[in-house]
Amino acid sequence: MKLDQHHIDSFNSDSHKDHDRAFLHLADKVPDIQYVLQQLQEFQVAIPSWALGTGGTRFGRFSGGGEPRNLEEKIGDVGLLHALNRSSGSISLHIPWDIPENAPAIKALAAQHDLRFDAVNSNTFQDQPGQAHSYKFGSLHHTDKAVRKQAIEHNIEVVKYGIELGSDVLSLWLSDGSNFPGQLNFRQAFQRTLESLQEIYAALPDDWKLYIEYKCSEPNFYSTTIADWGQSLMLANKLGSKALTLVDLGHHLPNANIEQIVALLLMEGKLAGFHFNDSKYGDDDLTVGSINPYQLFLIFNELVEGMDARGMRHATDLGWMIDASHNVKDPLEDLLQSVEAIMIAYAQALLVDAKALEAARQSNDVVTAQEILQEAYRTDVRPLVAQARLLSGAAIQPVKLYRSLKVRDQLIRERGAKTVATGL
Ligand SMILES: [Mn+2]
């Protein structure tokens, strides 16, 4: 299904008055409001093709109905999100869950929804039907050269799909690791991973990038071969300028100072971008901002400051993507909430008085430094984010409009109540 612009416009005109009042009140207090609105309008967050179905855990999966049955329907779902918020203008494909059999047709369909293709993702953490070698004991780090070769070739194949779709990033996450002490020689596993990555890197077009994601645990529970940002950065540095470190917010040990990691990777020009989610205990893949919105703000504060210091464009010079799973929510509502949380944290970071903060730091005025950050964080910027949406032709309140149009009911009528999307 596709949303008509007149649905959005008439919804907006109904809620215009309250919104205008809230926005004007806030706009008075923001010195460079036009700049902030323009930055917010430009900012786009990619939606992963695997997040459009109801997620599950290793214990069970409870489908919500109307899930997209194929790539075309997944593109349709992202198109709905983008129509509602104008901030979800790209889709990130996961191969082989979503193979674009007919790339020109898929590209044309995406263009109809005003979408482009973000990073393409490989998968060497599952065995696929008919696959010659198993990834049970890893892929790029595997002791058997034949397994490594198969995983390398898969990644190169993913790049080829990406080229056809106009993507320019291969995003790679390995489940490689070990479950028990003694299982793996750490140095050799790292070295084999590096050599495998070198082959993949050599096959990348000049204008492509390779994002190397790290994760401290799971599915292996004793060691993971790319466990943290240091290990990812070591690989990225050895590979070359096209290789960068990807930060997934859920892939850290508890209480890790992610904002500091981000600041230093940015400083080194080695930050690829983000997989946004939130978590309480581990890689929980919860809605962005649902548990620790202050941390998200602090991360965006480092991003804005660090990108400005390097003269980078916020919207396009890093990769922004959601990587979450929705066990109990409507995936589309959850994604709308996640994008909203990202925009709120970004807007708050844009409000930080950077000059005053720097002055407070120079004079070691710790209290003022904290006050400056919290002044921005405690500002209710939702009318600002809504105004940016309004200016872009999106809904003032996307979730409310989604519900009032009964989008999920329509999708269930179109697709059926028991459809299951490929993905997590
Ligand atoms: Mn991720």
Interatomic CA distance for residues 320 and 403, integer angstroms: 26
- The per-residue pLDDT for 119 is 98
Span 56-100, pLDDT tens digits: 888 888 888 999 999 999 999 999 999 999 999 999 999 999 999
- The per-residue pLDDT for 1 is 82
Report DSSP state, residue 378.
Answer: T
- The per-residue pLDDT for 56 is 83
Interatomic CA distance for residues 353 and 109, integer angstroms: 43
Check if the beta carbon of residue 103 is closer than 8 Å to that of residue 160. Answer: no
Could you tell me the distance, in angstroms and rounded to a whole number, from the CA of residue 366 to the centre of ligand 1?
35
Could you tell me the distance, in angstroms and rounded to a whole number, from the CA of residue 38 to the centre of ligand 1?
28
- The per-residue pLDDT for 424 is 65
Length of the chain: 424
Could you tell me the distance, in angstroms and rounded to a whole number, from the CA of residue 248 to the centre of ligand 1?
5
- The per-residue pLDDT for 2 is 85
Q: Report percent pLDDT > 70 for the chain.
A: 100
Does residue 96 have a cis peptide bond before it, meaning omega lies within 30 degrees of 0?
Answer: yes
Structure-token pair, residue 33: 């409001």
Could you tell me the distance, in angstroms and rounded to a whole number, from the CA of residue 213 to the centre of ligand 1?
7
On the question of pLDDT at 248 being above 90, the answer is yes
Q: How confident is the model at residue 338 (pLDDT cuts 50, 70, 90)?
A: very high
Could you tell me the distance, in angstroms and rounded to a whole number, from the CA of residue 354 to the centre of ligand 1?
30
Strand order in the sheet with 47-48: 47-48, 90-92, 116-117
Could you tell me the distance, in angstroms and rounded to a whole number, from the CA of residue 323 to the centre of ligand 1?
5
Span 198-240, pLDDT tens digits: 999 999 999 999 999 999 999 999 999 999 999 999 999 999 9
On the question of pLDDT at 246 being above 80, the answer is yes
- Of 48, 57, 54, the C-alpha closest to 66 is 54
Structure-token pair, residue 363: 């004079």
Span 11-43, pLDDT tens digits: 999 989 999 999 999 999 999 999 999 999 999
> Between 33-42 and 331-351, two packed helices, what is the crossing angle to 10 degrees?
150
The mean pLDDT value for 123-131 works out to 96
Check if the beta carbon of residue 17 is closer than 8 Å to that of residue 328. Answer: no
The mean pLDDT value for 164-189 works out to 98
- The per-residue pLDDT for 385 is 98
Interatomic CA distance for residues 81 and 67, integer angstroms: 14
Could you tell me the distance, in angstroms and rounded to a whole number, from the CA of residue 21 to the centre of ligand 1?
39
| Half-sphere CA count of 239, side-chain side, radius 13 A | 30
The mean pLDDT value for 152-179 works out to 98
- Of 86, 9, 78, 79, the C-alpha closest to 42 is 86
Could you tell me the distance, in angstroms and rounded to a whole number, from the CA of residue 365 to the centre of ligand 1?
37
Look over the chain and give the mean of its residue pLDDT values, rounded to a whole number.
96
- The per-residue pLDDT for 61 is 85
Domains, the chain? 45-332 (3.20.20.150)
Could you tell me the distance, in angstroms and rounded to a whole number, from the CA of residue 134 to the centre of ligand 1?
22
Could you tell me the distance, in angstroms and rounded to a whole number, from the CA of residue 23 to the centre of ligand 1?
35
Check if the beta carbon of residue 243 is closer than 8 Å to that of residue 201. Answer: yes
Could you tell me the distance, in angstroms and rounded to a whole number, from the CA of residue 326 to the centre of ligand 1?
14
List, as one string, the DSSP characters of 8-62: HHHHHHHHHHHHHHHHHHHHTT-TTHHHHHHHHHH---BEEGGGSS--B-SS-B-
Residue identified by tokens 């612009």 is 5
Tell me, rounded to whole angstroms, the distance of Cα 244 from its chain centroid.
Answer: 15
Could you tell me the distance, in angstroms and rounded to a whole number, from the CA of residue 85 to the centre of ligand 1?
23
Q: How confident is the model at residue 420 (pLDDT cuts 50, 70, 90)?
A: confident
Span 283-308, pLDDT tens digits: 999 999 999 999 999 999 999 999 99
In this structure, the number of other CB atoms found within 10 A of the CB of residue 179 comes to 12
Please name the amino acid found at residue 332: L
Could you tell me the distance, in angstroms and rounded to a whole number, from the CA of residue 228 to the centre of ligand 1?
13
